[in-house]
Amino acid sequence: MVTILSVRFPTGIGSPQRISIFRQPSSKQSQFAMAFRKSLFPARHAVSRRSFVTAAASFLLAGPTTSPGGQREQEASKPPAGERPLLVVATDLYRPHDDPDDHWDLATAYALAQQNLVELLAVLIDHPRPDSLKDPDIEAVAQLNYLTGLPVPVLVGYGHPSKEWRENPSDSRALWGVQALLELMRNAPRPVVISVAGTCRNIAMAAHLDGETFRKKCAGVYVNAGTSRPLAENAPLEWNVTLDLEAYQAMFALPCPVYWMPCFEDVRRFEVSEYATYYRFRQGEVLPELSAGLRNFFAHIFRRELSGQHASLGWLQALLAPEDPELVARMNTMDRNMWCTAGFLHAAGLSVDGEGQLHPLQEAAHPVFKFEKIRVIDCQTGHIRWGTDEAAADRYIFRVLDKERYGYAMTQALKRLLRTIP
């Protein structure tokens, strides 16, 4: 089997091009995949979604498998066709980075795809802001494609505020990423899940252009933005909301399920809260247990920032280079603020208990989070007024059930996932 790394982007005037880089899986990886497939499904019979998630979650609990030679080998078998959730990650993933949590989130999505718990269809990267000198980080996608053998394409979003686009929607080339998302959804064999972290603009525009596709082919949108309980009506807006307020408001009118994941209860309080996704960990709690390749992936993000060196290495050279012990040591001392992990797990059909163990949804005895049905009352100011309502349709809010264990549990779950990437 040959896997394809694929990066898609516009090249000046004309149609998008696709660059493919081929990587042949090692015989050890193939042998492991066969052994894991047999261990999960010894008989050739239909396997339910729940059975597959249960088996895959059990595999993740056991941690990475090590060969007699000590090399990591983590490839899961594929579930029956039509079983895996189809996932699009919409993200403000830049180089130089805005916030490195976006790279940790992308690695999380790849780890789930590596274990065949989701099928990662595309990464849609926000267009850089007009005052920014940053670029969409297609290098990060290329690196994770190489490490996992997955052929995930890159799309670049629209670069102007929603209001400006509505008034002058003439720049068709700037809409390529949004149009490509719609085409991907139309052609998908089943409804697609979208995780949004960054601006909501591209999703709002896509739904405005073709609401029927969102009605029929969107399984849900995870909106990582906003505050759930601001301490005052004039409290500051959360960062992702400020990127495009009109687009954020449009999320709550989408014709599909919406899973709202407020980043904070109040943006001025960086703390674990009941209706907020925020948690934090020290990178040294996780990095030492990851593969050398994945540590190099993270090192490539910080090389200029921590070592003062220009990031002159290309994306592949950076992955394959010997590790820089001094750089890794400095990375280990950094704290990392995180928000999106639970949404990826929930989309994959997983829950987390207080020890950070992964379970299929509804099977965790004491989960640290869940989603509750809500009724959205008003969203005109950027601060959402809402109330819990079991009779509400297709609107949910993230809730922490165990504030004492949430941060620890999410860190352990993240570690279990990421150490499956070779």
- Give residues with Cβ within 8 angstroms of 58, minimum separation 6: none
- Could you tell me if residue 109 is inside a domain? yes
- What is the overall mean pLDDT for the chain? 82
Q: What is the CATH number of the domain that holds 341?
A: 3.90.245
Q: ∠ CA(339), CA(342), CA(348), 5° rounding?
A: 140
Q: Which domain holds residue 172?
A: 3-282+335-418
3-state secondary structure of 196: strand
Q: At what angle do helices 292-307 and 101-114 cross, to 10 degrees?
A: 170
Which residue numbers in the chain have pLDDT < 70? Answer: 1-82, 165-172, 304-312
- Could you tell me if residue 141 is inside a domain? yes
Please tell me the predicted confidence (pLDDT) of residue 231: 80
Measure Cα distances from 397 to 118, 224, 228, 259, 380 in Å: 22, 11, 9, 6, 18
Helices (H), 168-308: 176-187, 201-209, 211-217, 239-243, 245-251, 292-307
271 secondary structure, DSSP code? S
- Could you tell me if residue 59 is inside a domain? yes
Please tell me the predicted confidence (pLDDT) of residue 102: 97
Measure Cα distances from 347 to 130, 217, 370 in Å: 32, 15, 12
How many folded domains does the chain comprise? Answer: 1
- Could you tell me if residue 246 is inside a domain? yes
- Could you tell me if residue 208 is inside a domain? yes
- Could you tell me if residue 206 is inside a domain? yes
Closest by CA to 323, choosing from 105, 332, 413, is 332
Tell me the pTM. 0.82
Give the other-Cβ count within 10 Å of 418's Cβ.
22
Contact 157, 202 (CB under 8 A): yes
Please tell me the predicted confidence (pLDDT) of residue 327: 93
- Give residues with Cβ within 8 angstroms of 7, minimum separation 6: 18, 19, 138, 141, 142, 145, 153, 154
Please tell me the predicted confidence (pLDDT) of residue 310: 52
User: Tokens 């165990």 map to which residue?
Assistant: 402
Give the other-Cβ count within 10 Å of 126's Cβ.
28
Please tell me the predicted confidence (pLDDT) of residue 48: 47
- Could you tell me if residue 295 is inside a domain? no
- Could you tell me if residue 302 is inside a domain? no
- Give residues with Cβ within 8 angstroms of 408, minimum separation 6: 354, 356
